[in-house]
Amino acid sequence: MLLLSLALAGRLAAQTDRWQVTLDGDKYVWDIQLVRLDGDSLVVKQSDSLVRVPVEHINEIRLIRKVEVDLGAGAAGTMNALTGGGDEIYDLSALDLPERLRKVEKILEVHPVGP
């Protein structure tokens, strides 16, 4: 029963991850969930739609961390939360397409997609 609970908790955590993708020309695809790699495109879920994003145009993939701020802890913690200091950032800008695809595969391995 404990293993089942842990497996379900992992899947629920994966479902709540929110991501942002930065594309060429400083365009953004945000408030998304990563779904899968399909050929040369990253498939993401945005609202209730699936969107294909060409990996060759992705400069950065960012996991937006949910942050709770304790206002009594001081300004440093608040600024860190507001500036995305706890975000997980993957810079793809200096990589060629095969390296970008490998990096996206690794991201999907580290952050498995829920059901």
Mean pLDDT per block of 10 residues along the chain (115 residues) reads 44 65 95 96 96 98 77 52 69 98 97 79
Q: Is residue 35 part of a domain?
A: yes
The pLDDT score that the predictor gives to residue 66 is 73
Q: Is residue 39 part of a domain?
A: yes
Three-state secondary-structure class, residue 41: strand
CATH of the domain at 17: 2.30.30
Task: Please answer whether residues 51 and 43 qualify as being in contact, where contact means their C-beta atoms are separated by less than 8 angstroms.
Answer: yes
Which residues span the domain enclosing 18? Answer: 2-110
The pLDDT score that the predictor gives to residue 65 is 81
Give residue 12's region: left, alpha or beta (phi > 0; psi -120 to 50).
alpha
> How many domains does one find in the chain?
1
Q: Is residue 115 part of a domain?
A: no
Distance from C-alpha of 114 to C-alpha of 97, rounded to nearest angstrom: 26
Kind and range of the H or E element at 2? helix 2-16
Distance from C-alpha of 63 to C-alpha of 18, rounded to nearest angstrom: 6
